[in-house]
Structure 1
C-alpha cells in the first residue's frame, strides 16, 4: 500500500527542510512505499527555492505551486487532487506532527479501517508548548462538536489524519477553503459511515515562523462546516453514505 503525505506550505522557508528530511528518513526506515506531496501556497519567501533544492535530495518528493486562490484549505485540496497513493495523510510543514506517529497510523490502517484519526488529548497523546489560549479554544470547539454529533472522539479539528483513497474520494466535493477543512474531512467521514479508529499522537509547537491559523477569522467558517455536516447527517436520507 503506497502512502501519500500531503503538506501545505506557506512561507515555511525555515521549517520545510527539517520537516521533509525527518519525514523521509522515518518512512524509509520503516520501509513504507510513499510519496511526499508539498503544495507551495504561493509563498512570498524562499519556500519554493528550498523545495527545488530538496527535490534533488529527496527522491520521493513532488511539489506544486498553487497559483490561487490561496489559503490552507485550498492548498491541501490542491494536493489531494494530485496524490498517487493508496492512502493519504495531511501533515503540517512546521514539523508539529511526528512522523513516527504516521508510521503507526499507516500500520493501523492496514487492519481494515477506512480512516485513522489522531488525538492529542487521550492517554498516550502529548502536546508540547501549546499556546494556552489556543488550547482553551480547541477544547471548547471540540467539546461542542463531540456533543452535537454524539461522538466519543475528542480531536476532530486535529489535521493529522490518514484516509484510504476510496474514503477521500467519497468525501468530495470539498467545501472548505481554510483551516475548517480539518473539521470537514473527519465529520464527513463519520457522517457518511466510513470506519475509523483513534490513536494517540503528539503535537509540538513550531520552532520557526508564525502560525497561519487566524482564530478570529475562523469561528464562522468552522460553524458553517459543523452545520453543513449536521444537515447532511439528519436530512440527506443517506444519499452520501459509504456503499458497502
Structure 2
C-alpha cells in the first residue's frame, strides 16, 4: 500500500530540509512505499528554492506552489487533491510530528484494515515536548467541547497529524475549511459518516525554527462553524453521506 504524505509549507525554508530528510529516511528504513507531497503555499522566503534542491536528493518528493487563495486549509486541500497513494497523512513541515509515529499509523492501518488512524498526544503513551502552556489549556478545552458536542471519546481531534485511506478521503468530500479548522473537519466527518478508525498514541515537539502559523484568536468562530456543521450532519442528514458498508468498532492501542 503506497503512502502519500501531504505537507503544507509557508515560509519553512529553515525547517523543511530536516523534516523531509528525516521523514524520507524513516519511511525508507521500514520499506514503506511512499511519496512526499509538499504544497508551497506561496512562500515569501526560500522555501521553493529549497524544495527544488531537495527534489534532486529525494526522488519521492513532489511539490506544488499554491498561488492562491492561501492559508493552511487551502494548502492541505491542494495536496489532498493531487496525491497518488492508497492512503494519505497530513504532516507538519516544522517537524513537530514524528515520522516514527507515521510508521505506526501505517502498519496499524494495514493490520486492522481501518479506514483512518488517528493519533492522540494525550493518551497513555503519548507525549508533548515544549508545548506552550496557554496553547495547551486552549487545546484541552477545545477538545473537551468537541467530545461533548459530538458524543465521542476521541480526545485529540484538533491535531492535523492523521492517516486516511484514499476511499475515506473521497468519502468525506467536499471540503469546507480554508484554514486550521480543516484539522477537525476531516476526522469529524469521517466519524460521522461511519468510517472505522483506530487511535494510536503519538508525540508532538514544538518547532525549532520559524513561527507557528496558527492564530488562535482568529480561529474560534471557524472551528465552531465546522463543529456545528458536523453536528447537524450527524443528526439531520438522514445518513445520506454514510459509508455504505458497516464499519468495525474503534480500536485504541496502548
Give the TM-score taking structure 1 as reference length: 1.00
Q: What is the CA RMSD across the aligned residues, in angstroms?
A: 0.4
Quote the offset at 1:75 in angstroms. Answer: 0.1
The answer for unaligned runs of 5 or more in structure 2 is: 246-254
Question: What is aligned with 1:234?
Answer: 235
Quote the offset at 1:114 in angstroms. Answer: 0.3
Cα offsets for 1:78-119 (capped at 9, x unmatched): 000000000000000000000000001000001211000000
Secondary structure of the structure 2 residue equivalent to 1:240: coil
Question: What is aligned with 1:136?
Answer: 137
How far, CA to CA, are the matches of 2:244 and 2:92 in structure 1? 31
How far, CA to CA, are the matches of 2:132 and 2:16 in structure 1? 22
Question: What is aligned with 2:177?
Answer: 176
1:41 aligns with 2:41: yes
Quote the offset at 1:150 in angstroms. Answer: 1.2
How far, CA to CA, are the matches of 1:56 and 1:221 in structure 2? 39
Please list, as runs of the form range in 1=range in 2, the aligned pairs for 1:82-231 lying within 5 A after superposition. 82-110=82-110, 111-231=112-232
Question: What is aligned with 2:73?
Answer: 73
Runs ≥4 in structure 1, deviation > 2 angstroms? none
How far, CA to CA, are the matches of 1:39 and 1:27 in structure 2? 20
Question: What is aligned with 2:3?
Answer: 3
Secondary structure of the structure 1 residue equivalent to 2:102: helix
Cα offsets for 1:152-182 (capped at 9, x unmatched): 1000001010000000000100000000000
Please list, as runs of the form range in 1=range in 2, the aligned pairs for 1:21-40 lying within 5 A after superposition. 21-40=21-40
Secondary structure of the structure 1 residue equivalent to 2:234: helix
How far, CA to CA, are the matches of 1:236 and 1:150 in structure 2? 17
How far, CA to CA, are the matches of 1:57 and 1:113 in structure 2? 33
Secondary structure of the structure 1 residue equivalent to 2:174: coil
Secondary structure of the structure 2 residue equivalent to 1:89: strand
How far, CA to CA, are the matches of 2:143 and 2:133 in structure 1? 15
1:56 aligns with 2:47: no
Quote the offset at 1:135 in angstroms. Answer: 0.3
Cα offsets for 1:5-45 (capped at 9, x unmatched): 00000000000000000000000000000000000000000
Cα offsets for 1:108-145 (capped at 9, x unmatched): 00121100000000100000000000000000000000
How far, CA to CA, are the matches of 2:44 and 2:242 in structure 1? 41
